[in-house]
A and B are shown apart, each in its own frame.
Chain A
């Protein structure tokens, strides 16, 4: 079944929206309310987010990249590696603004389930939540990476992710054929998996 045909019920879900910008938190909160969510907690700091998650009871974390002066990805990485943390396995959506290529790599390797580029598209947010609910990915526990498997089934990811995966596949083919000008570490690691 297509992701667009699936429904979600957010009435009992506890969200934690972690964003240092009040505007970012308010927008996310309003959209989630519109989707039917009732329990929306918020945090405006890295330490506040850490403290709230440690209390337990949060079902989904929506974490901004810039939290703690750009430490959002490091924080998620730390969460995924904390073996006894109550929130270790919860879905994490990372939001981000203007990014460099290095930043994109940090998001991807942090252990977040999906990344959502700002400005937030209401449709994209809904489809990502549906994808996380209905197409859970295996959790990888490895010394170099802990988090949801970074390889998607074609039917399991929102359209933008599918397109990105196609780009990566094309890049890998070029790399293997020796036609790529500047292979990078990310593509090498995918090629060897």
Chain B
């Protein structure tokens, strides 16, 4: 293996590329199905995690709303917790959780850039997140998700999209 910077590009063999190509391997369909089954078994655990994260998020939002200055450390906590909830939802077929939590992250990101606090928008997002975390909203949440997301989108759009935001 090369041990100095050479300013060039070359294929460097790794153990992974050698052993992962060995046969027999599962077919793509078998592997994906097994992966989905493994995730499905974790659903009760997922619901417990989300429940715990929502409790923490509720506290963080309440504390963030009490401060005049924004950004504040509680707002940053709320962003982190909302991001955690966002990152798990759709893997467990809770698409609505991911959509609402993503909107919450975007709201806090924009409030941070705008240095503004908006208790109403934050509490509305929190309530929406609690609503869609229930099994009734599993998958796409039926026809109720679209109007909900439109309403949340209006709250977010009060604040300009920061220059560095991913659209």
Whether A141 and B86, one on each chain, are in contact in the complex, defined by CB atoms closer than 8 angstroms, is no
* Residues of chain A from 30 to 75 with CB closer than 8 A to chain B in the complex: 30-31, 33-36, 59-60, 66
B59 CB, nearest partner CB in chain A, Å = 18
* Residues of chain A from 139 to 189 with CB closer than 8 A to chain B in the complex: 139-143, 146, 149
B19 closest partner in A (C-beta): A12
Q: Which residues of A contact B105 (CB under 8 A)?
A: 97-98
Q: Give CA–CA (A1, B16) in the complex, Å.
A: 20
- Convert B8-43 into 0s and 1s, putting 1 for each residue whose CB lies closer than 8 angstroms to a CB of A: 111111111101111111111001101111110110
Q: Does A192 make an interface contact (CB < 8 A)?
A: no
Whether A126 and B49, one on each chain, are in contact in the complex, defined by CB atoms closer than 8 angstroms, is no
| Known A9-B24, A35-B31, A100-B165; contact A119-B14, beta-carbon cutoff 8 A | no
Q: Give CA–CA (A90, B72) in the complex, Å.
A: 39
Whether A30 and B23, one on each chain, are in contact in the complex, defined by CB atoms closer than 8 angstroms, is no
Q: Chain B CB within 10 Å — which of A7, A100, A121, A132 has the most?
A: A7
Q: Give CA–CA (A34, B38) in the complex, Å.
A: 6
Whether B19 and A59, one on each chain, are in contact in the complex, defined by CB atoms closer than 8 angstroms, is yes
Whether B88 and A136, one on each chain, are in contact in the complex, defined by CB atoms closer than 8 angstroms, is no
Whether A141 and B88, one on each chain, are in contact in the complex, defined by CB atoms closer than 8 angstroms, is no
- Number of B residues whose C-beta is below 8 Å from A? 58
| Known A27-B91, A100-B109, A119-B88; contact A34-B37, beta-carbon cutoff 8 A | yes
Q: Which residues of B contact A24 (CB under 8 A)?
A: 84, 87-88
Whether B31 and A23, one on each chain, are in contact in the complex, defined by CB atoms closer than 8 angstroms, is no
* Residues of chain A from 115 to 142 with CB closer than 8 A to chain B in the complex: 118-123, 125-126, 129-130, 132-134, 136-142
Q: Give CA–CA (A123, B6) in the complex, Å.
A: 36
Q: Which residues of B contact A137 (CB under 8 A)?
A: 11
Whether A13 and B8, one on each chain, are in contact in the complex, defined by CB atoms closer than 8 angstroms, is no
- CB < 8 Å neighbour of B5 from A97, A123, A146: A146
Whether A118 and B35, one on each chain, are in contact in the complex, defined by CB atoms closer than 8 angstroms, is no
B105 CB, nearest partner CB in chain A, Å = 4
Q: Does B66 make an interface contact (CB < 8 A)?
A: no
Q: Give CA–CA (A121, B91) in the complex, Å.
A: 6
Q: Which residues of A contact B41 (CB under 8 A)?
A: 30
Residues of A at the B interface (CB closer than 8 Å) are 4-10, 12-13, 21, 23-24, 26-27, 30-31, 33-36, 59-60, 66, 83-84, 89-91, 97-104, 118-123, 125-126, 129-130, 132-134, 136-143, 146, 149
Residues of B at the A interface (CB closer than 8 Å) are 1-17, 19-28, 31-32, 34-39, 41-42, 45-46, 49, 83-84, 86-91, 98, 102, 105-106, 109, 162-166
New contact pairs (19) apart from A9-B26, A33-B38, A138-B9, CB-CB < 8 Å? A12-B19, A23-B46, A27-B88, A34-B37, A35-B26, A59-B14, A84-B3, A91-B16, A97-B87, A101-B164, A118-B87, A119-B87, A122-B32, A122-B91, A132-B17, A136-B11, A141-B2, A142-B7, A146-B5
